[in-house]
Chain A
Amino acid sequence: MKKRFLAWLYGDQDVMDGILDNFNKPDVSHSELKKITRAAEEEYDHRPEVLEAIGRDRARFRTIYLVIAFISCIMLTLVLLYTVSLLPEYGAENPRAVEVVSRYVEDGLEETGAVNIVSGMILDYRAFDTLGESHVLFTALICVMILLRIDRKNQRSDYEDYYTVRTDTYFDLSTDPVLRLVCAVIVPCILLYGIYILLNGQNSPGGGFSGGAVLGAGMILFSVAFGFDKADRFFTLKVSNIVTFVSLGFYSFAKGYVFFMGANGLENHIPKGTPGAIFSGGMILPLDIAVGCVVGCTMFGFYSLFRRGSIGGQI
């Protein structure tokens, strides 16, 4: 007893060893265990019949891939060359460019109902282009998610991530009272300003992209100041997915409807409203809101994925 007490006193032996922790203590060290498992896995994967099957699959895939790549390259080249052949000659007077610009400036307010001509251009005349841009943002979010998202297959324990967890808690800004106090004042103002920009896109400089960026930046500041736990209570992966899907779906549906029913001089029966009012410009305001939602979700999703590998903390 005394010997054991002295051993505990001088730190030679931990009395609680085997009682409190280290339930499954392996006989070998962690790195050695990793090495042994990897060797066994490699031996299993590199069986001759498996290697042969993989080689066969790879050769078949390579042939098909080459054929499809060749055909699509040729077709793309032909389409681009045909388009180039339709362009006016270099240096010649290009009537289309002059006509389009003067039409936008002179008849933009009357035809789109938007005081801000840029908004009328990107969300009415060229709304299809903006639709593609929103989908590009969505695709970028998906790509970042594929690359950085932590799921059950590549999840690491806090023990393996010891250094990352240490530095993350050490540099965590959410414990700072200065930032918390200032952000409690600033963040609502930023979000309100973002909503103002979003709703006034047809009347003043602004619109979906800038308003969504301000909203996303406000969300990022909120999660920096108060921690991800607070942001997770209302912005989960499910919410992000639903908001993005509803926005993009509404945009595609509404713009497709307008293209098929109202474009090319046909009668457009969506009212334009009085220029300068909030409800003016026909479809521009709802489309602005949809684009803003997508941009905000994408910005906050980027930040969240780069910082901790998930949106909303779920794995």
Chain B
Amino acid sequence: MIEWIRFWITAVILFCGILAFILEVAGLFRLGFVMNRMHASGIGDSFGLGCVVFAMIISSGLNLDSLKLFLLILFMWLTSPVSTHFLSRIEVNTNPFIARYVRFGTDYGKK
């Protein structure tokens, strides 16, 4: 019974993660502007990877492997958003036509 419940929880979370990865791939290939594409890939890199590895933790139980998987989530969640942050910062700093796509500061919310 316990094994059966564990299997279904794992399957549901794993399915959520795979859905996030599908969203990531679709957004990465369908969207045009670089910020939108980074947002789409951020969904997969944070939420999707977290879901998949968390499902692995549940299915493996509490042992050394699950600790390693937890560290994997920790480091990926630390490093991946930072690199995305810098990519977007470089885009804002170097793209001369950035105002076509993004509203800054006081302009935010205006039509």
Contact = CB atoms under 8 A, between A and B. Distances in A.
A186 interface: yes
Contacts, number: 18
Given A185-B78, A186-B78, A179 B86 contact: yes
B93 A182 contact: no
A182 B86 contact: no
A185 B74 CA distance: 11
Given A170-B93, A171-B93, A178 B78 contact: no
B85 A186 contact: no
Contacts of B95: none
B101 interface: no
Interface in B50-86: 75, 78-79, 82, 85-86
Range of interface residues on chain A? Answer: 10 to 19
A186 B79 contact: yes
Contact of B85 (A171, A178, A185, A189): A178
A189 B82 CA distance: 16
A173 interface: yes
A173 B87 CA distance: 12
A178 B82 contact: yes
A70 B85 CA distance: 57
Contacts of B85: 178
Interface of A: 170-171, 173, 176, 178-179, 182, 185-186, 189
9 contacts: A171-B90, A173-B86, A178-B82, A178-B85, A179-B82, A182-B79, A186-B75, A186-B79, A189-B75
> Would you list the 7 A-B pairs with minimal beta carbon distance, nearest first?
A182-B82, A182-B78, A178-B85, A178-B82, A179-B82, A186-B78, A185-B78
Given A178-B85, A179-B86, A186-B75, 6 more contacts: A171-B93, A176-B86, A178-B82, A179-B82, A182-B78, A189-B75
